[in-house]
């Protein structure tokens, strides 16, 4: 089976992205790291095939993307849509926020994350 997660070939790219991460990503990472949200581990700059996700929880198969100015414009949005469709085809759920969401609505972003995590970790009932 071909390895599609965190390929060694992508290591340098992931390291560079971590070093040059935008302020909004750094701010959200401060709240995600060390299992601060409901005990769930998130990784920064996690690669799936040739794409690098801002944040990813392997345990939940949950990706979080923070869109800044580079994600504006029709070409960037088309690329993001293609990328998201590919990643979702692997069974990974995608949550997308903007820099402005992080800066001005962080409480809502964290509430959305908690709700999503609770839904994904809710035990299945015996009748299902």
The 3 state secondary structure assigned to the chain is CCCCECCHHHHHHHHHHHHCCCHHHHHHHHHHHHHCCCCCCCEEEEEECCEEEEEEECCCCEEEEEECHHHCCHHHHHHHHHHHHHHHHCCCEEEEEEHHHHHHCHHHHHHHHHHHHHHHHCCCCCCC
| pLDDT mean over 63-87 | 88
Q: Which pTM was predicted?
A: 0.85
pLDDT at 6 over 90: no
| Of 1-10, 43-52, 64-73, 103-112, highest mean pLDDT | 103-112
């Amino acid at each position: 089976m071909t390895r599609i997660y965190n390929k060694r070939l992508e290591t340098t790219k992931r390291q560079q992205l971590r070093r040059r991460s935008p302020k909004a990503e750094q701010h959200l990472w401060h709240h995600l790291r060390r299992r601060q949200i409901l005990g769930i581990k998130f990784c920064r700059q996690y690669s799936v095939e040739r794409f690098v996700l801002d944040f990813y929880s392997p345990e939940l198969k949950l990706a979080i993307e923070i869109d800044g100015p580079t994600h504006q414009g029709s070409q960037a949005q088309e690329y993001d849509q293609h990328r998201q469709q590919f990643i979702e085809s692997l069974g990974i759920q995608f949550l997308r926020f903007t820099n402005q969401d992080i800066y001005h609505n962080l409480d809502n972003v964290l509430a959305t994350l908690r709700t999503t995590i609770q839904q994904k970790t809710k035990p299945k009932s015996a009748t299902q």
